[in-house]
Every structure is written in structure tokens, then in C-alpha cells.
Structure 1
């Protein structure tokens, strides 16, 4: 069996953060059933430009492989009836909505424990389900600013800068997945489920790590550093070569002992040198880094790496995305996977970095909206044809609204 093949997750999820967390679980074999609200045309990720047609997008493919989909309107009594039958068969209800929405739509543990006492309810929200910001929508860009990340990123004389990737969303998804697995373990051990109140805000603050510790205990004030330099280790930063950029770092004294001769200054590594220790290099960083920058500009990236790699000095080129995806180590680690899609043909994407055991994961394309209707309604929920027809007539599976209605309804629902 796959590691999580005996786990069923009902996912009221959308867009990036939530689906990013659950896709790793799906890759490990968990059955992830996406509940897609027909009032909004399903997961909004289906319509992310520029690479989308009708209800399929390459964005959606990235976050939803190996999952199943059913259209279900939880705002109707009939839709709720279906949802509750699914909860009885599930291990987890997983969502990423605004902080006040899980309580409003009744998907917290106290709302569902009568159906399944061991159900684990994981709510990944922008700001959590308590606190003064709980009703605010949470977006990666906003949270990178709120949590101090942007103030730390960029050149000292430049503007605050966000990460090139949605790192709060992705980190939040992984935190939610860890919380889910912890809750599931406890529920199976004790027979009692729980709420897991996870937020992007908590994640972003938590990832301030040691700069936060330094600040709160020693008055340290983080500042942006030139060429992305490490705040305390010198040298450890981006350096410009004659034809591009690379990172060179001396995280241990032994690396500095090896680097000094390679840049033509073995005396820099001597004990009496002002650069001969961590503290000395930090105190004299302006002088040292100016000299290193001039030296590194005299050769190409490949020329420098050809001597730095054999010396086992931490280093590497600053690749663009194409180069990173073509790197021989990317290929050797099987980090590019392929799925077959009826609209896009063969879709290449990056694999999950989560590794459990030696079995190679299987990859199946993301589901088209409502693709698994019959399986979910008839096999899992146990409804016969007459019951499905009545549920449909009662609005359980909804119908697509026009774009203006979708936007208005989404805003009202906190999506």
C-alpha cells in the first residue's frame, strides 16, 4: 500500500495554499475529494491566466494532481446532506477559507463530531479563527508585508521586496499538512477528532525564526543586506562573475581556509589576519567584500565553480527557472513528472519533494470539475439513482452563475 492509501480527506479547498498542502498527501496515496462550489465555477484556480481554457488551467494542474472532484453546493440543505454522508466515511475535513467561514458553514469539529467522533477538521485560514484579524482575507503578498518579510528582502537602497514565489502560501500548505497528519495520528490512537486551527499569518510569523529570537532577546534589528548577504556569516552572498551571478558561502571556518588561497590571498586565512575569524570577517566585512567582489568579477561563473566545487566550498550558479529545471541533479532526483490531460496533452510539472520509502509515486492528472460525481455520490455516500435525482432537483449540485454573480457570491462567502 501507498503510505496514506487508507486516508480519506474531504477538501473544501481552492486556489494555492490549501491545494498545495493536500497535493503532497494525494501523491502519498491519500484519497483527496475536492468539494467544488458550482456557484463559483469550482476552484478559482481553474481560471488562472495565462494558460487556461474553459475550466482547465496549468495552474490548477500543478496543485491538484491525484485528486478527485465533485461539485457540491454546501449552502443548500441538499448539498449539506451529501457532505454529511461523506464526513461519515472520511478521516479529515480540510479547508482553506477566510477565518470566520468554517464556523459559518459549520465544518468545525463541534459541527461534525456527531457524524464521526474521530473526524479531524483542519482549517487553513489567512489569520486563524481567533484574534482581531480573523475575518480578513489572507493573501500571500499581504502577509509577506505584514510579517516583516518584505522589509527584509531586497537591496538596502531599494524598496521592500516580496519573494519571487508565494512562499507564505506554500509554507502554510505544508504546515497544514503536518497538522493534519498529527491530528490524524492522535484521532486514530484516541478515537477522538479535533480542530486544527492553522493560519498563513502564524506560518509567516513563525518563519521569522532566529532573527525574531535575536530581536526579542538581544535588541537585534534586521536590515536588508547587499547582494543578499547572510546577516552574520561573511562571506556568504551573491557575487557577480564576469558573465553572471553565483552564490559563495563560508558557513564554517574550514571553508574560509580553503577559499582564501583560491582567490589569491592565503594570508587572509592566517590567525593574525583581520579576516582570520568569523568575528573578524564580520567586523571588517566592508573592506573584505569589496575585495572579493572585484576578484570574482575577473572570471566566469564556470571558471570559478570549476575550482570551488573540488574544494567542497558551498557554492552554486544563480540559475534561471529553465536552467534549474534542466540541472542534471533535478533529472537524477526524478523531480520532473508527466501526466496526460485531455486538453493539454502531456503535462510536465515538478514532483513533490516529500519522500516516504522507496516506492516511486504514481501521478494522475488533476480532475476535471465534477469528474468523480458517480463515485462520490453512489459508492462513497451510498445514494441510489432516485436519491441523486432528488438531491439534484433540490440544488445540491448547483449550476454555474454568470461571472458577475460568481464574483459577488465569492466576496460574500469569504472566498
Structure 2
């Protein structure tokens, strides 16, 4: 019996020995697949975590954006008690033909401006806040609340406002001759600005600033006075516009230090560009630059610096020292002026662009000097000599002179190194 059992035992042993390699292979395959499965699981978890995090950030930003919009909407709703009428969006759409391109007058820092005709036949100019605008609800609200309290023949008149949905609109009186820069810096149009017209524009701007600084119920610093922000009516009378950057001063306050430098380089006072300090004397500086531009027909911008190797202000000073004010005057065809008036305006312009704000006259003194034939004027001091081209790159991007009828910000050519 035992011999018969041996083959069976042998077969069992043989079977056991032959099945062992298969088991080992399965174990090896299982072991090698475990790291791959772990990698896949980790990858899936990373993707899930990343998507969850992204979704949470998106929801947080969406809530924050909506909260800001609700706050802006509530603040704008509180403005309904303003002295200015709140206009409905539908009537403005009809007046401007749904903001058609044919009705577009130009574009500034706030956004595009459209001509419109109300149902009663009155012409209007509508400023539409652009989504790409650096200005926002704060500037919009500032302009509505501020200009509603300001009434002067040399300030543009705001007729109403509208804030519905994402639209923020300012409705102004329509001025057919648009802005001063459209005439002043266009060789084909500058001849329409004879000396009497230019002199009246200078006096009108001075009266408007004097009202803002001293004669209104509020003490207001405009902070962005430039040729494109001076509009002309049908009789070429000037009206200062765009109060989005304006600030109200307390009676006892003479200057404010702000960390945010805003405005247009080329018109900004040195102390504001370098130290962030602005005051009514900052507006006086801007007026001085504008006065020199009106006299010369040249823009105080990068183009002038590249062509003449120095700024318009420096050229003015050089001609003042050489007693050649006549050479500074615009060469527009048919333009003739009174030598005494031209020299007086020239000297006042240089007094306004002096480096030290304490040396600059107030607007009341400026107006008095401009209209007084017998008043002895002080001698201006030399403006800054080192004038590097400095300023935000964004200002240079908006400085394309080929864009017509736009509010263009030019890089700084007036604010440089302190002495």
C-alpha cells in the first residue's frame, strides 16, 4: 500500500512546487501596481483640492465684488437727495440714439462723451463711465455732489445724472465748440483763436479758478486743470469742466499731503509730483502752464521736449531772460496782439509756474495783474532746470497725439529732482 501512495504524495509536492512561481508573480504584480494607484490617488486629491480652493476664491471675490457694488449703489441712491435731477436711463438712450458712434464727441479719463437731444429739443453732452476707466464710483459721486453746489459762468453746468445697473452717467450742457485743445494744438484751427479770444479765455479761466478757490461756498482745488478740461461755448467763452479729481478744502487747511498722485503730467506742480502735497497753489501752477500754452500754441508735453530739448516752461524762461517775449507768441496766421498785454500775460504765466508754491501768486492776485495796466509785476524766479522724462508708463500710453478730441495725459516734463 505504501508504494501506491508515494506517487500521489509526489504529485502533491510537485503541484505545490509548480504553483509557487505563479503566486509569486501575482504578488509582484500586486506590489508594483500599489505605487501607481497611490500616485493616481494623490493626483486626484491634488486636483480636487486645487479646484475647491479655486472655487472658494472665486466665490469670495464674487461676494466681495457684489458687496462693493451694493455699497456703491446705496451711496448713489443716497445722492438722490442732491440738488441735481436724477434722470432715467431710457430717456438718455433715446437722446443719444443708444450711444451711437455718430453721436460720440470724444473720450477722456472718465469715459466716452456723447451728444444727445432731449425730448424738448435741448442739446446735452453725456459722460458715460467706462468699465476700463481708472475713475470709479467715488469720482462719479464726487463730481455730482461737488458741481451741484458750484454755479459760475466759467464752470460747465451739470444738468443731471443717472445711475442704473452698471451705467453711471453725467449729463452736462452741450458746448458746440468742445474743448480748448481742439483749437489750440491744431494748426488748421488755431487761427480761429485771435488775440482777443485768447485773452478772454485766459481771463475766463482765471475767474473760474478764483471762484473755486475763494468766492464759492466751498474752497475747491480742481487738481486737473488742462486745455482738454476747458470747454468753449458758442461764443468761445471758457468753462472749466471735469471735477472728478477735485477736492474740498476746509477753511483752516492750506495744503494736503496725499500718497496718491493724480492728474496730468506736464500740468502738475513739482511739490505734488515729488511729495504728494497739493493746495490751491497747485491749481495756480496748472493755470500758469495753460496760460503759456495759450500764448505759444504749443503743448507742454513730450513732443515739445523731444523737438526743443527743453520744456515749454524752460523755453519761456530763456526768452524772458533774453527779453524776447514776442518770439514766444503763437505764429498762427493773422494773429496779432498788444505787446503790453502779451508781455503781461507772459510774465504772469512765469510767476505761476515758479517752483516754490509760496512764491506763486493767488488767483485773486493773478486776475488783478492780468486786468491792471498800471500794476507793477514782481520778477519771476527761474524754474527747474533738470527735467527728466518721468511719470507712470500708463500716462505715456495715453499720450498719443494722433487721437483727436480726447483728454490726453502726457508724461511729466515739469516735475523733477528737488534742489
TM-score scaled to structure 1, two decimals?
Answer: 0.21
User: Which is greater in Rg?
Assistant: 2
Q: Larger % of helix: which? A: 2
TM-score scaled to structure 2, two decimals?
Answer: 0.21
Identify the structure with bigger relative contact order (alpha carbons < 8 Å, sequence gap 6+).
1
